[in-house]
Structure 1
């Protein structure tokens, strides 16, 4: 079984979503199915089919969450240190073309969320950064073309 590295916060987020889907969504959907069933003929009952579809999606996500939680390798980022970028590091970059600063934390795939500054360890940017140190120049090939960055800071938080 291949373990999935993740931070403690990422693990807690998965557990919270799993509990919500099991204890709130699952009973709500079952109730919708029962309500739709009471309306009679199921073959042309759009509410019933929509509720069954929602049930299928919810159960699929529950199975996915249970799998990720079972394979979680929780890494305590607060115990990490050093100048070399690796899993858990928060890295401040400057885009060499636009001079725009970006801050990213390198996390596990299940907790990656670019809008909140968390990128997957498997992403092209993270792969380019791992092993580098402050002051390093990094080039990353993106769908929009090659981007060049300079590493300004490496932190553990």
Structure 2
């Protein structure tokens, strides 16, 4: 599939739930706001109407984006993941060799990345560098702040 979007099962389920919410709940709310704004009379100078129409356009754009992601999405089959090597859908614990700090990352597709939750993209500098590595491997990552050196301590589902 061209331009496929890699997703974990969890990420796919979140997209489906968000799509359902936007289509079944938010669309109706925005339509109601538009209907209410129209009831105020002349829509040519009606800021509530303009605001609701803008919200509707943004909502429809978001729905289309999610539908495209679901259409192009490929769910990572975690039954194929042995945990011997870092791969999408797996969590990896690394040791920063310089600072002796341990960090844990879950490698996910770019659409699911959330660094604040420890989810990093397979396309990010760190994620890309860790892919395919095994426990005990040391990875040197050329970053803007200099060379980062991480040792893979653990890989798990």
TM-score normalised per structure 1: 0.90
CA shift at 1:96, angstroms? 2.4
CA shift at 1:27, angstroms? 0.6
1-side partners of 2:53 and 2:143: how far apart?
A: 39
Q: Which 10-residue stretch deviates more, 76-85 or 99-108?
A: 76-85
2:71 maps to what in 1? 70
Matched pairs, number: 156
Which runs of at least 4 in structure 1 moved beyond 4 Å after TM superposition? none
2-side partners of 1:147 and 1:85: how far apart?
A: 18
2:108 maps to what in 1? 107
CA shift at 1:44, angstroms? 2.5
Secondary structure of 2:40 counterpart: coil
Q: State the Cα RMSD in Å.
A: 1.6
Q: Which 10-residue stretch deviates more, 105-114 or 141-150?
A: 141-150
CA shift at 1:78, angstroms? 4.1
TM-score normalised per structure 2: 0.90
Task: Encode CA deviations 1:95-134: one digit per residue, 9 max, x unaligned.
Answer: 2233222111111122222121211111111111112111
1:36 maps to what in 2? 37
Structure 1: runs of 5+ lacking an equivalent: none
Q: How does 1:11-90 map to 2 (within 5 A)?
A: 11-90=12-91
Task: Encode CA deviations 1:35-70: one digit per residue, 9 max, x unaligned.
Answer: 111112223222111111111111111001101111
CA shift at 1:139, angstroms? 2.4
2-side partners of 1:27 and 1:122: how far apart?
A: 37
